[in-house]
Amino acid sequence: MDNLLLNTFSRKIRAYLPELWRKVSKDEFSVERKTGYKDIVTSVDLEIEDRLRVFLHDLFPEADYLGEESGSDVRSSTMWIVDPVDGTTNFSKSNPHYSTQIALYSENRVVLAVTYDHNRKETFHAIKGQGAYLNNKRIWVSKTGDLREATSHVGMQYSSETAFERITRRINRAIKICRGLRITGSACLDFAYVASGRADIFWEETLKPWDVASGVLLVKEAGGYVGSCVEESFDLFSPNVLVANNSPELVKEFREKVLYD
């Protein structure tokens, strides 16, 4: 896809997201369950997704749309992949750690990524082959090579009992080995933090494409590693993810001491 077009898309998305968040009502909203008491959606999620779907269609009518709150079965060669509010539970509790992620998928890869944190006024963005940026300043992954000096982020998924049991064993090992372990509640920001050097490692199982699409490109363009936290190849549409900085030693040590039973 033409770089000039991608840059135009990125610039317009980054300008639109702060405007969008100013328009939605963040003080009065409803909360509903989706698949269970841990899996919720708010009226803000739905409003932002509705507005983004219209905006992105107008921006690039040829692209299909895959969003968390609608169209979850869409699979197309060219499509927007959107999470309107990543960290909905945080948002519902007025915990200001959540984000909006938009990625453009084309020709079997993510070519454009934007992750927006409106509370901190931070916009992470990347275009394939052009590097990763935070508020237009180039970012890079950390240089940490020793697991004892590493900060590791992890997500706790509720959709798979097998994954839950495995992840708790891994968390126990990571607590003993890593300098710090964090569970933040927003996978999209966990990716962005690895890309910007704020975290050294992030892993989580049984995610969805809208949890990872933007972050995968951010980490790659920041010089980092993207793989799977289970013994399989990384799959954007069924992601079990491990991302880290560019230290092969750190990734190897983490796999051997934390991931492998």
Q: What's the pLDDT tens digit per position in 143-159?
A: 999 999 999 999 986 65
Q: What is the C-alpha to C-alpha distance for residues 225 and 244, in angstroms, rounded to an integer?
A: 5
Average of per-residue pLDDT across 65-79: 84
Q: What's the pLDDT tens digit per position in 125-140?
A: 999 999 999 999 999 9
* HSE-up (13 A, CA, CB side) for residue 67: 21
Q: What is the C-alpha to C-alpha distance for residues 167 and 174, in angstroms, rounded to an integer?
A: 10
- Collapsing DSSP states into helix, strand and coil, what is residue 114? strand
- Read off the tokens for 141: 């992954």
Per DSSP bridges, beta strands 151-154 and 137-139 are unpaired
For the entire predicted model, the pTM comes to 0.95
H-helix segments, 80-160: 88-92
